[in-house]
Structure 1
Amino acid sequence: MESIKIVYTSFIKFAIAIAVSQGETLAEAKNRIRKEFENHPNKKQLNEIIKKTTLGKENLTILSQNCITICEDFGPDRDYITLILLLENIYKKEVVEKIEKDTIANIIQKFRKEIERINAKIPPPPLYNVLLESRSLVEWTTMIGLYHLIPRYKSAHEKPVLLMPPYLGNDYSTTFVRKYLKSAGFKTYKWDLGINMINSKSLPKLIEKLDEIYEKHQEKVSLVGWSGGGIFAKIIANRHPEKVAQLITIGSPVWGIKHMQTPVIRSLEFLRGRKLRERNEKLIKELEQIPKIPITCIYTKTDGLVPWKHCLEAETFRDDIKNIEVFGSHSGMGANATVLLTVAKTLHENIENSHQKGIISKAEKLFYPHFWKQKGISKFTNLFFS
């Protein structure tokens, strides 16, 4: 929260100044910004910042640059997209004089370009993470024994779930996930398109499959995509939100792939027969959009193939967007007990519309990095005796 507080203290002053420059009073501007943060997960803290904000003699260009500098100091972050979208929302083109409108528009456009520049600097996974990918062999072999020990949260509704495999994977890659979800009461569907080469030609067939499942069940379908499969899942969710109940991605680069750096880039280019920079621009643009449905992104900071920051969606954009960190390798996420548990619980809670304190129950928190990041022995006493 500390980094969020520093970034938003600067940004809120900038946003309020834009609203004031369009003819609003300071009080009106504060109310406008407060409404924009209505679905922000930190809205209580942000409302306090808004309340204390005052305007000095700084012009919009200076305020913009101050915020950009702070963002650059903290480094790339998908949540910066929330700042850009909020600025575009409060910019009322129809009430501003032409010369002033152009000035504000240019400032906002420059702000967007600077944020995009900052977010293009995500480094590739370190060599240590790449070497750790070898543990995926252990993860896949031990899952045979661990599978029956994973807790199950039974769903009584047999809701439809379409699963999409990773790049160079096929339906065998999602065997454990599908088997586990089926045992938890869901109706699972394979993607049935052979090896996933992340080819745009697969999209029409996937959309046709979505239509078939939707017609069969007469209800929305949940999409689960691992790695490259999550790319397809997100694009489909953006195109057809009326047929998608929720989106769950597992180690998937869901934004910024135009500048994504991966240690296996040469291998991927060899298999594709062309440079990764020569991608489908339309799909890249679609992938940057945020679907208007509940989203959960599962990621691991020890991912050796995909930079983990590319696997997070903007949690600050809406309160139905969650990023959940797990332990494990990228290649082993299809046989990761915590991943299976998280997928099933997320599907269940979003479908049942249950609002628990957290997505993870008490004992299960022990399996997640977030628990171990807490300092001191109190994390155990708070867990079991609070």
Structure 2
Amino acid sequence: MRQTHDSNSPGAIADAGAAFRMASFYKEAARRAALAGEARPKGVKGPPLRHFLGELSVFAEPLRRLGRDFPIERTDEPRTVMLLPGFATHPVRMRYMAQQLERAGHKVKRWGLGFNLGPTEQNIILLERRLAALNKRYGRPVVLVGWSLGGLFARELARRHPDMVGKVITMGSPFSGSPRANNAWRLYHLVTGHPVEAPPIDIDLSAKPPVPTVALWSPRDGIVSARSSCGWPGERDREVALRCTHLGFAYSPEAIRAVLRELEAI
């Protein structure tokens, strides 16, 4: 015999709730898909396809790293460093860089938020607390090293709390020009649910923080436009060109040496 639920029974209410949640899910998925499907603004381009395909070299990195070691000098001026990962990446992707900076004698800390899934007012507040805790614990300004989207978080933290930040080092971070001058903005729209140029926080991407700010960038970057991550005078204090891929900023010996030089130059 077929069992039916009274419209006010717990079973019927549960079914109605599940149907509502499913409908809401599909509606939100459709909205995000529409965002991701928007046309790129006329005249705005990301890196060329050959550079984008070059990012696949990341899969060979574990093999290249076997037996690879490069000399690192111990510093006389250890810094406290917070590493901020790129979009959709976990802090573990920056572990190799952290290990090399620690070999030099620096104190390296994670950002404490797990995967970087885009900015919200809540995760900015959590980062502000993390920054304040590190500043108080070690009694010195913290150097923020941000990879890709992590660099935008770093710049915003320094803008809000310049007294707690000793320096900002961005690596392939799209802080200049159009936020869609990259090959990841569609994925960003799909994951975050908001347009890349309209984050749910008060932020001016190109405004230079009131602390020393250095932009590491690469003409071989296959994700972010070189012009966006290099910036213009007034948007950063200095820029340094490297020869790594976008994903390579996290493990390239050249990028690691560049960060170490910037830590020594404070």
Normalised by the size of structure 2, how large is the TM-score?
A: 0.77
Question: 1:331 maps to which residue?
Answer: 247
SS at match of 1:256: coil
Q: SS at the partner of 1:225?
A: strand
Q: Deviations over 1:151-189 (max 9, x none)?
A: 313213332111101111111011011101101010111
In 1: Cα distance, 2:63 partner to 2:115 partner: 22
Give the letter aligned to residue 321 of structure 1: D
* 1:216, distance to aligned residue in structure 2 (A): 1.0
Q: Closer, same or farther in 2 for the Cα pair 1:133/1:160, shift >3 Å? A: same
**Residue of structure 2 in register with 1:295 after alignment:** 213
**What is the aligned counterpart of 1:305 among 204, 223, 230?**
223
**In the aligned structure 1, how far is the partner of 2:66 from the partner of 2:126?**
32
Structure 2 vs 1, CA of residues 349 and 205 (structure 1 numbering), >3 Å: closer, same or farther? Answer: same
Structural RMSD (CA): 2.1
Q: Secondary structure at the match of 1:306?
A: coil
Report if aligned partners of 1:166, 1:228 keep a CA contact under 8 Å in 2. yes
Relative to the length of structure 1, the TM-score reads: 0.54
Q: 2:191 aligns with which of 261, 271, 289?
A: 271
Cα distance in 2 between the residues matched to 1:321 and 1:222: 15
How many pairs align? 224
- Find 1:127's aligned residue among 49, 59, 84: 49
% same residue: 24
Return the match for 1:195 from 108, 115, 122.
Answer: 115
Equivalent residue in structure 1 for 2:256, among 328, 340, 363: 340
Relative distance call for 1:206 and 1:257 in structure 2 (3 A) is farther
Aligned to 1:104: none
8 Å contact from structure 2 (residues 144, 154) kept in 1? yes
- Rounded to whole Å, the distance in 2 between the matches of 1:123 and 1:305 is 11
Structure 2 unaligned residues grouped into runs of 5+: 1-41
Q: Distance between the aligned counterparts of 1:338 and 1:345, measured in 2? A: 11
The answer to whether the 8 Å contact 1:125/1:304 transfers is yes
Cα distance in 2, alignment partners of residues 138 and 197 from structure 1: 25
Could you list the per-position Cα deviations for residues 248-275 of structure 1 after superposition, in whole angstroms to 9, with x for gaps in the alignment?
A: 01111122354x2333333332222344
Unaligned runs of 5+ in 1: 1-119, 351-386
Distance 1:205 1:300, change over 3 A: same
Code of the aligned partner of 2:129? E
Looking at secondary structure, tell me which structure has more helix per residue.
1
8 Å Cα contact 1:298/1:323 also seen in 2: yes
**Which residues in structure 2 correspond to 1:64-83 (within 5 Å)?**
none
Which moves more between the two structures, 178-187 or 197-206?
197-206
